[in-house]
């Protein structure tokens, strides 16, 4: 991955180049920002630039042995660390076990679509993380000397998914760094990273893409202008979201159906139906449950804006969502909006804490029943 392969982010690219060119290479660098902003692609380009034997015009050459190894994901001094699923009870599980799947994944999805990674793991309902064995494996591999470069580089995707025990081992590696090792972390939710790890990193915030940048990206890939403009408007600066909307993978219609079903049953105060809805939701994987609650929060926010004078600024509703919201937005108002958002936040917290999902979603349904008619 070369810098010129990544759309936009010229300021971030300049900062990354300068770290290498000036020799001010931090032992732990964190690229943080929203999902779909190209952080891992930037991290890969930075490490390839660091290892390149013949840098040219502010980029790696692409032809030296180090660059060729990076392009095939086989650089001897580059270690990938990423969240995985345990393959079996009692078995050690580390990133190396899924390296082939990960190579295919980042080839097909260079902007790191997490849903595609779940598919690659054959676990659409799973909760990938970096288990305690990952920290031990990193420590073991970093004990070896570099083979072909001045630096070993650990490219870690989503450090917010470190198991607590793994995070403590990772902290020790960062606090007492090997002189020939650099860590490059990329995070979608940096507030969930262990604070002591976060505080010991040098950080670069990677902004979301502008709608114009997303539109240009889509047009370069053959999407016609009007369609690209509409998709870019709905993608909210995420290239992965834009790519999903280009294909059949976009599940926003299914999310909208679930949301509408909850609100209608809540308005009717149909307790048996709400209980069945909660049971159906509990059968979904936790990742899907969290994404649904996040979707609900977004739709509530947009409907509140429609209800107020700020409605003219609503820009992220799909045509189907907009049609639904023309009828629904009067029910999201100053009397209930705080309680509705609190209900969503509580549900998200309880899901992430591995709460009983039937109870979590029935509790959410009851709170909707109590608020939606206000």
12-16, 49-53, 123-127, 296-300: the lowest-pLDDT one: 123-127
Provide the Cα torsion 144, 148, 151, 157; round to 10°: -80
Report CA torsion sign: 20, 25, 28, 29: negative
Which has the higher per-residue pLDDT, 101 or 313? 101
Distance CA 289, CA 126 (A): 11
Distance CA 62, CA 182 (A): 21
Whether the pLDDT of residue 242 is over 90: the answer is: no
SS (H, E, C) 218-272: HHHCCCCHHHHHHHHHHHCCCHHHHHHHHCCCCCHHHHHHHHHHHHHHHHHCCHH
At the topology level of CATH, where does 3-207 sit? Rossmann fold (3.40.50)
Whether the pLDDT of residue 46 is over 90: the answer is: yes
For residue 248, name the pLDDT band (cuts at 50, 70, 90).
very low
Per the CB < 8 A criterion, the answer to whether 368 and 266 are in contact is yes
| Rama region for 179: left / alpha / beta (φ>0; ψ in -120 to 50; rest) | alpha
Q: Note the pLDDT of residue 154.
A: 95
Mean pLDDT for 84-111 is 85
For residue 249, name the pLDDT band (cuts at 50, 70, 90).
very low
- Mean predicted lDDT score pLDDT of the chain: 89
For residue 88, name the pLDDT band (cuts at 50, 70, 90).
low
Residue 94: is it exposed, middle or buried by C-beta count within 10 angstroms (0-12/13-18/19+)?
Answer: buried
Q: Note the pLDDT of residue 258.
A: 92
For residue 221, name the pLDDT band (cuts at 50, 70, 90).
confident
Q: Note the pLDDT of residue 144.
A: 86
Whether the pLDDT of residue 91 is over 70: the answer is: no
| Domain limits, the chain | 3-207, 212-246, 252-371
In this prediction the pTM is: 0.77
**Nearest-CA neighbor of 35 among 92, 116, 99, 122?**
116
Whether the pLDDT of residue 149 is over 60: the answer is: yes
Enumerate residues 6+ apart whose C-beta is below 8 A from 79.
138, 141, 142, 152, 153, 154, 155
Burial pattern 53-88, b for ≥16 Cβ within 10 A else e, equals eebeeebbbbebebbebbbebebebbbbbbbbbbee
Whether the pLDDT of residue 250 is over 80: the answer is: no
Q: What is the pLDDT of residues 47-81, one digit of tens each?
A: 999 999 999 999 999 999 999 999 999 899 999 99
Whether the pLDDT of residue 225 is over 90: the answer is: no
Distance CA 221, CA 38 (A): 17
Which has the higher per-residue pLDDT, 48 or 313? 48
Mean pLDDT for 353-373 is 92
Q: Note the pLDDT of residue 291.
A: 82
Which has the higher per-residue pLDDT, 194 or 145? 194
**Nearest-CA neighbor of 96 among 110, 77, 117, 82?**
82
Distance CA 142, CA 41 (A): 23
For residue 196, name the pLDDT band (cuts at 50, 70, 90).
very high
- Work out the percent of the chain whose per-residue pLDDT is above 70: 95
305-309, 353-357, 363-367: the lowest-pLDDT one: 305-309
What residues pair up with 314 in beta bridges, in sequence order? none
Whether the pLDDT of residue 160 is over 60: the answer is: yes
- Work out the percent of the chain whose per-residue pLDDT is above 90: 60
Q: Note the pLDDT of residue 254.
A: 82
Whether the pLDDT of residue 371 is over 50: the answer is: yes
């Amino acid at each position: 991955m070369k810098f010129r392969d990544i759309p936009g982010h010229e300021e971030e690219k300049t900062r990354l180049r300068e770290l290498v060119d000036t020799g001010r290479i931090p032992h732990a660098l964190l690229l943080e920002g929203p999902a779909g902003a190209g952080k891992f692609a930037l991290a890969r380009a930075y490490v390839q630039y660091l290892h390149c034997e013949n840098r040219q015009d502010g980029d790696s050459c692409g032809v030296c042995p180090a660059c060729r190894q990076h392009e095939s994901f086989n650089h001897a001094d580059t270690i990938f660390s990423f969240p995985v699923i345990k393959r079996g009870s009692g078995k050690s599980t580390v990133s190396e076990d899924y390296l082939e799947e990960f190579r295919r994944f980042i080839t097909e999805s260079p902007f790191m679509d997490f849903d595609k990674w779940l598919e690659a793991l054959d676990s659409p309902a799973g909760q990938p993380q970096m288990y305690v064995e990952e920290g031990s494996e990193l420590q073991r591999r970093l004990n070896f000397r570099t083979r072909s470069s001045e630096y070993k580089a650990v490219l870690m995707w989503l450090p917010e998914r470190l198991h607590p025990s793994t995070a403590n081992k990772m902290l020790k590696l960062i606090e007492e760094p090997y002189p020939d090792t650099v860590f490059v972390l990329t995070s979608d939710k940096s507030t969930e990273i262990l604070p002591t790890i976060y505080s010991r990193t040098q950080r670069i915030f990677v902004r979301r893409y502008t709608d114009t940048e997303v539109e240009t990206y889509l047009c370069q890939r053959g999407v016609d202008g009007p369609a690209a403009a509409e998709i870019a408007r709905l993608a909210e600066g995420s290239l992965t979201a834009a790519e999903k909307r280009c294909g059949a993978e976009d599940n926003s219609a299914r999310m909208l159906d679930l949301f509408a079903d909850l609100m209608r049953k809540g308005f009717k105060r149909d307790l048996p139906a709400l209980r069945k809805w909660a049971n159906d939701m509990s059968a979904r994987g936790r990742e899907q449950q969290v994404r649904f609650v996040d979707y609900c929060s977004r739709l509530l926010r947009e409907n509140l804006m429609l209800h107020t004078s700020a409605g003219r600024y609503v820009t992220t509703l799909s045509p189907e969502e907009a049609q639904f919201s023309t009828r629904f937005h009067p029910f999201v108002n100053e009397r209930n909006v705080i309680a509705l958002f609190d209900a969503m936040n509580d549900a998200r917290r309880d899901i992430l804490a591995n709460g009983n999902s039937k109870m979590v979603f029935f509790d959410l349904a009851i709170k909707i029943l109590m608020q939606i008619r206000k």
